[in-house]
Structure 1
């Protein structure tokens, strides 16, 4: 909408691939984290005698993906109702963690305000200043997929206001609840941070809960954490499948003609769901290459999203096109917000490609730049491929509904409702 005709199709192509791979990586990383959390619960339940192998965790990861594929193969109304339930459970879980940790943590593990709010512990090997910047990487992954409501806008009523308000509400609520949880953790985790990281449980959060709440209490809270993580995975598959479906509608992905299909029984893009699941399984298989490879999948969520977000935000102000404001607008604040956002995303996309320590070996290297760069390189090569490339046939997002179509559909629905409505006498 905003770019000049010369660059419009190519930028749409690149954004489509960046957003697709980031959504696939998001599902893979969420479900991998869920699999690790389940294994941590089993480890706690067995008094740390059980230590899962990579193959066992990957098998559980695939089972989670399949279950999420099945959930997303039913009517979207069921998914919408489940999301409401998961939202309530998520808020209650956050409240439970914020309340239970201060109440149950032993005195020797409680930290004072000086340590919790002003203490600085650097375990990275980098300088303190750069270690502080590196510490932003975890919340970058946690607070992500801001565009998730956009992908289901075609299935939402009053999308022009519901979608932007959903983005604003979820971001603000995540900020508040996330801050509250981090404050509770900082006051109740003790000072032995290295011991928490090296715990055989394999999950620092689970270790903190185990130390503060004991085995039974930790398992109770942890089970709800797994449930919420599972719910996030189900929602991520919904978002990812809609992105894949939309890009296949434009003809951008391989097998687009087969994937672009709506199941007439459930009115959902079932093929896009299972296509997404298969891509996630393939991406998750990188775990057999070592921890650095699976960490690259986590980082790919951020770099892919930020790349896909930065281009349209920049084009909005650099493309020279007039914008007709919608019902939700920041007005004069739009430009400074956009400038800060693009600057932030550019800087953090570079930072997230750094390794965890300044002198990495082959196994400790950060391979995000390889995966992200490889995807964008192949996408660009595919676009400019002589004779068969996207530059010869890709026209950008396909317009399937016009204002005239919407008007005629609304008129038809209104006439139908008036014909079926009871007369005043009968309604009385």
Structure 2
């Protein structure tokens, strides 16, 4: 159910108000609310991880437009990204629960199709979370090999098997870290935010200052106007493909949503965390791209095919020298580790929420709160294990594992489009929370949905017009295969979800959920359905 928070709660919630709001949604308070509004915003920003994320997907923008795509593609993508964030923020304010996207879908859709839509959104959101962990950690593993190359002064002879070994070690260490108590994880966000924020300014200042003194700046006409197309698509389509860089970097808008049950003043804190993190990341990211365009030189092909294995590592090496480049690169790896640990943290909460409603295999084992840490340790390790399995795509081909990056965007768009659309398509009585857009709600949502549908189609295309089986875009194969399995299980005869899945399941007694209502004689299911129809 999506209900309006009390008018007096727009700025400050009375003690226990978060628990009351959650109870109205049908759930009891199982987590400890240790995240302050500032820490939730910090988590959203450090989840984006501007510098390490730009490093991870730099290879999307550089060959598909060069400096022009880096600078102006970022500027064009950011307003569209903000529309998505605003639309999701409005829904998050109305129903701050860890289930988030699939819960909203069920509450706002027609009774005829809400179970199926809830199922699809839940699974696409789950694969988005796990693919996000996998892609960020894979990028972290590659960055570690680049650090070895910088330190040795020569290319590190790596293989996908060696990278997978590093990837697995990083993943397992993060699973241990994210299994800690909520209070520890909440306090870590201050450190994560500080590191990511300082790294942005350090990169901007260091590159600008070093290149200024060496007088090797690229001219403005090249840095702001040169369009270099190395992959062979028509220039217009190549530019669209380059948008993958900002869209992946400033992604995961639902990160703070899945922390709703661990945040204080969630109805206000969550939407502001979404929007503030997008604004800060958009501005800092654009400035960083401008600095890179001026500092990287004109040999784009040499940078893209750097023996270090990372285009941005080569730019640092050329600009700062071996020793300083290694220092900077180690900071970037540290920040990347922080980003990926937050990805695992957020993903485990989504998995926990979906298991709480009985939709995942082994839900009875996944829906458990550890008695010592008071966190869902089982779902942390479940997500880590799934990400390790996804990483095995590296043994198929480099293109196959690179598809994990685009899956993180395409799967998330499926889970974003559905609840935003159901709000306006189906007959419901949506009641906004403290954060709402008023008359701008529909046009902003329309822009967000239209853009996401278009970009999802684009991201299924291969990187080059002439492709082979090894070099094809495996996004449609991996994502399509996963969704096919999810739908097949839903419609499986006898055992399929169509026979037993009824959307979000209230786990709180009617007396608590519906205070002062004369509905105590209703069954829990009837009561929940009645509340949902009041959306």
Q: What range describes the TM-score normalised by the shorter chain of this pair?
A: over 0.9
* Aligned pairs (5 A) from 1:335-346: 335-346=442-453
Q: Where does 1:286-325 land on structure 2 (aligned, <5 Å)?
A: 286-325=393-432
Match of 2:204 in 1: 98
* Structure 1 residue 43: Cα displacement: 0.8
Determine whether 1:388 maps to 2:484: no
Q: How far does the alpha carbon of each residue in 1:111-165 deviate from its partner, in whole angstroms, 9 at most, with x for none?
A: 1111111111111101111111111012221111100001010111110000000
> TM-score, with normalisation over the residues of structure 2?
0.75
Of 375, 378, 382, the residue aligned with 1:275 is: 382
Q: Deviations over 1:21-67 (max 9, x none)?
A: 11100000000000110110011101124222211110110111111
SS in 2 for 1:320: coil
Q: Check the 8 A contact 2:223/2:290 in 1, yes or no.
A: yes
State the Cα RMSD in Å: 1.4
Q: What CA distance in whole angstroms lies between the structure 1 residues aligned with 2:204 and 2:296? A: 13
- Aligned residue pairs total 408
| 1:373 alignment counterpart | 480
Select 1:64's aligned residue among 170, 173, 184. Answer: 170
* DSSP-derived class of the 1:82 partner: helix
More moved, 271-280 vs 318-327? 318-327
Match of residue 412 from structure 1 = none
- What CA distance in whole angstroms lies between the structure 2 residues aligned with 1:292 and 1:54? 11
Rounded to whole Å, the distance in 2 between the matches of 1:49 and 1:304 is 35
The CA distance in 2 between the partners of 1:202 and 1:402, in whole Å, is 56
Separation in structure 1 between the aligned mates of residue 259 and residue 510 of structure 2, nearest angstrom = 19
The equivalent of 1:149 in structure 2 is 256
Match of 1:223 in 2: 330
The equivalent of 2:20 in structure 1 is none
Separation (CA, whole Å) in 2 of partners of 1:222 and 1:49: 15
TM-score, normalising length: structure 1: 0.93
Cross-structure match for 2:184:
78
Determine if the alignment matches structure 1 residue 14 to structure 2 residue 117.
no
The answer to whether structure 1 residue 122 and structure 2 residue 229 are counterparts is yes
Instruction: Tell me the alpha carbon deviations over residues 173-194 of structure 1, each in whole angstroms, 9 at most, x when there is no partner.
Output: 1101111110110010000000
1:312-348 deviation per Cα after TM superposition (whole angstroms, max 9, x unaligned): 0000111110111100011111101110001111111
Contact 1:32 1:284 survives alignment (8 Å): yes
Flag structure 2 segments of 5+ consecutive residues without an equivalent: 1-106, 516-535
Mind listing any 5+ residue stretches in structure 1 that lack a counterpart? 409-428
Measured in 2, the distance between the counterparts of 1:109 and 1:15 equals: 50
Distance 1:405 1:328 in 2: 25
Question: Secondary structure of 1:328's match?
Answer: coil
Cα deviation, residue 363, structure 1 = 1.1
Contact map agreement 2:178 2:341 (CA 8 A) in 1: yes
Task: Find 1:112's aligned residue among 208, 216, 219.
Answer: 219
Distance in 2 between the 1:83 and 1:355 partners?
37
Question: Whole-Å Cα distance in 1 between the matches of residues 175 and 329 of structure 2?
Answer: 24
Give the CA deviation at 1:290.
0.7
What residue is the counterpart of 1:421 in the other structure?
Answer: none
CA deviation string 1:221-246 (max 9, x = no partner): 11111111000011000011011111
Give the C-alpha shift of residue 100 in structure 1. 0.7
Query: Is the contact between residue 109 and residue 191 of structure 1 (CA under 8 Å) also seen in structure 2?
Result: no
Q: Are 2:156 and 2:308, in contact at CA under 8 Å, matched by a contact in 1? A: no
Partner of 1:59: helix, strand, or coil?
helix
Structure 2 CA distance for aligned equivalents of residues 198 and 273 of structure 1:
36
Identify the match of residue 181 of structure 1 among 288, 291, 302. Answer: 288
Pair 1:235–1:214, CA change in 2 (3 A): same
CA contact (8 A) 1:14 1:379 kept: yes
Task: Determine if contact 1:296/1:366 at 8 Å carries over to the other structure.
Answer: yes
Matched residues in 2 for 1:119 and 1:308: separation?
36
CA contact (8 A) 1:83 1:231 kept: no
Contact residue 97 and residue 181 of structure 1 kept, 8 A: yes
CA contact (8 A) 1:109 1:189 kept: no
Displacement, 1:406? 7.5
Matched, 1:23 2:129: yes
CA drift of 1:166 comes to: 0.4
Q: Is the 8 A contact 1:108 1:190 kept in 2?
A: no
* Range with greater deviation from structure 2 (396-405 or 21-30): 396-405
- On the 8 A contact 2:171/2:384 being kept in 1, the answer is yes
